């Protein structure tokens, strides 16, 4: 159990930070400084251990799904729901949940962690379960080449004491699984008819190897339409989903596989599927707000594969489109990846580009013959222009991470926006 003085001091810093509107991770940074074992000591209380979710794309949405699915099975779940996926974000979330004596009322922790931080986290808090979603080129200024990211995920898998859930469609993750003969490995995957819609990183860059046989998967996404069809250990099930975007539906397959591994024979499948049908998108990841009586959808984009799948998932017809690109640390400084995205689906035009890299984005769209009506590097002003000029239309905003946070803050002045504590 954590030291009482560190809990009390950490809670005090958290209270002050919230009064001043400070960052959600600041109290975590403070408590880790004064008590380096705070996170490990607190999580050691959990009878079902720690679940770690990592990979390039889909961490926040998948984590939200897993938390809600486990809760449908009667488990009390702790999670870092703000999406602050560094270790200090976990510490900050713990400060909000423990009592003054450092006791955590939960059965299990489900944590999303940035790959670069997860490799250090697992050295002090080995997870009982880990879920490896995918490996894509992402934030080259932080991660370098893709094999560096794959090496980080391999480290996570090796540190896992129980079951590792792997995306069988990702060749680099399959290779990791073959190096872990003593681990309990389970897979989730796609039906062959869907694979063309989910290119891996090599296919996206024209480097795909010849087809190879894939391992059997515990959960397979079979089809996507008005509803989604999965096979669960060979049994075919169908459910409607509140989640939008084909990539989110594949994330649902990952969440199902992980939940089934954790709960085991105690699984209530009817309750599982009923909950999956009503899970809402995570904040900024297909989140829909209402502004002036019209829907306004926020879609997070942060690398070529994610942006490509987002554009593929959402028909722009009848929508006013805005793209907001920042290059802060949390977004990745290197924006050259925008040139790996095909924007021709937006050929009817983008109403507004904004953010720090607005003019880089406008130039990129020009090369795909996509007209841009307005550009403004000042994001609040860009948003105001977008809303004013498209008042009577549904709206969709593709945005990088820090741009999304700014947009949610500005939109909260106009409509109801869920507060993420």
Mean pLDDT of the chain: 89
Residue 144 has pLDDT above 80, yes or no: no
Q: Is residue 421 part of a domain?
A: no
Domain boundary residue among 276, 297, 327?
276
Say how far apart CA 362 and CA 222 lie, in whole Å: 38
289 strand-pairing partners: 296
What is the pLDDT, as a whole number, of residue 209? 53
What is the pLDDT, as a whole number, of residue 56? 87
Q: Residue 32 is part of a domain; what is its CATH number?
A: 3.40.1190.10
> Within this chain, do residues 161 and 94 fall inside the same structural domain, yes or no?
yes
> Within this chain, do residues 302 and 249 fall inside the same structural domain, yes or no?
no
What percentage of the chain carries pLDDT values higher than 70?
Answer: 93
Residue 359 has pLDDT above 70, yes or no: yes
213 HSE (CA, 13 A, CB side) = 2
- Of the two residues 304 and 132, the one the predictor is more confident about is 132
> Within this chain, do residues 257 and 291 fall inside the same structural domain, yes or no?
no
Q: Domain range for residue 207?
A: 4-276
> Within this chain, do residues 162 and 241 fall inside the same structural domain, yes or no?
yes
Contact 25, 88 (CB under 8 A): yes
> Within this chain, do residues 59 and 157 fall inside the same structural domain, yes or no?
yes
Which tens digits make up the pLDDT trace of 374-395? 999 999 999 999 999 999 999 9
Residue 140 has pLDDT above 90, yes or no: no
Q: Could you give the residue ranges of the DSSP H alpha helices within 106-229? A: 115-124, 140-143, 146-159, 171-178, 201-204
Q: Is residue 169 part of a domain?
A: yes
> Within this chain, do residues 17 and 122 fall inside the same structural domain, yes or no?
yes
What percentage of the chain carries pLDDT values higher than 90?
Answer: 64
* Strands of the sheet with 184-190, listed across from one edge: 77-79, 108-112, 50-54, 129-132, 163-167, 184-190, 219-224, 228-232, 235-239
- Of the two residues 326 and 226, the one the predictor is more confident about is 326
Report pTM. 0.90
- Of the two residues 267 and 244, the one the predictor is more confident about is 267
> Within this chain, do residues 247 and 395 fall inside the same structural domain, yes or no?
no
What is the pLDDT, as a whole number, of residue 33? 83
- C-alpha distance from residue 48 to each of 39, 89, 95, 127 (Å): 16, 21, 20, 10
Q: Is residue 416 part of a domain?
A: no
Non-local (6+) Cβ contacts of 108 within 8 A are 46, 47, 48, 49, 50, 51, 70, 75, 76, 77, 78, 262
Contact 218, 185 (CB under 8 A): no
What is the pLDDT, as a whole number, of residue 398? 97
Q: Is residue 419 part of a domain?
A: no
> Within this chain, do residues 234 and 360 fall inside the same structural domain, yes or no?
no
> Within this chain, do residues 226 and 137 fall inside the same structural domain, yes or no?
yes
């Amino acid at each position: 159990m954590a030291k009482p003085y560190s809990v009390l001091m950490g809670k005090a810093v958290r209270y002050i930070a919230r009064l001043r509107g400070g960052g959600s991770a600041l109290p975590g940074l403070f408590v880790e400084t004064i008590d380096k074992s705070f996170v490990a000591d607190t999580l050691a209380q959990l009878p079902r251990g720690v679940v770690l979710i990592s990979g390039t794309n889909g961490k926040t949405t998948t984590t939200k799904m897993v938390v809600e699915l486990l809760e449908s099975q009667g488990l009390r779940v702790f999670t870092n729901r703000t999406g602050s996926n560094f270790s200090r974000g976990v510490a900050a979330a713990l400060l909000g949940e423990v009592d003054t004596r450092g006791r955590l009322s939960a059965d299990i922790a489900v944590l999303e962690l940035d790959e670069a931080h997860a490799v250090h986290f697992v050295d002090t808090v080995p997870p009982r379960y880990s879920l490896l979603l995918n490996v894509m080129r992402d934030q080259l200024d932080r991660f370098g080449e893709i094999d560096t990211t794959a090496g980080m995920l391999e480290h996570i898998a090796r540190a896992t004491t129980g079951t590792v859930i792997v995306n069988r469609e990702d060749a680099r993750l399959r290779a990791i699984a073959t190096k872990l003969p003593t681990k309990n490995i389970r897979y989730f995957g796609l039906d062959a008819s869907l694979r063309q819609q989910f290119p891996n990183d090599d296919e996206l860059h024209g480097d795909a190897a010849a087809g190879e046989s894939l391992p059997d998967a515990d959960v397979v996404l079979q089809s996507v339409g008005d509803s989604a069809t999965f096979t669960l250990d060979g049994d075919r099930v169908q459910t409607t989903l509140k989640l939008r975007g084909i990539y989110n539906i594949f994330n649902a397959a990952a969440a199902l596989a992980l939940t089934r591994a954790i709960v085991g024979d105690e699984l209530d499948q009817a309750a599982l599927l009923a909950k999956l049908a009503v899970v809402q998108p995570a904040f900024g990841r297909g989140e829909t707000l209402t502004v002036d009586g019209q829907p306004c959808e926020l879609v997070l984009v942060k690398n070529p594969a994610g942006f490509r799948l987002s554009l593929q998932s959402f028909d722009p017809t009848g929508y006013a489109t805005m793209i907001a690109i920042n290059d802060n640390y949390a977004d990745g400084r290197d924006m050259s990846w925008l040139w790996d995205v095909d924007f021709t689906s937006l050929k009817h035009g983008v109403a507004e580009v904004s953010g720090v890299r607005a003019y880089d984005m406008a130039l990129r769209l020009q090369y795909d013959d996509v007209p841009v009506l307005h550009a403004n590097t000042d994001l609040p002003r860009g948003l105001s222009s977008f809303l004013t000029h498209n008042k009577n239309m549904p709206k969709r905003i593709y945005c990088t991470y820090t741009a999304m946070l700014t947009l949610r803050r500005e939109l909260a002045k106009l409509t109801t926006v869920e507060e993420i504590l």
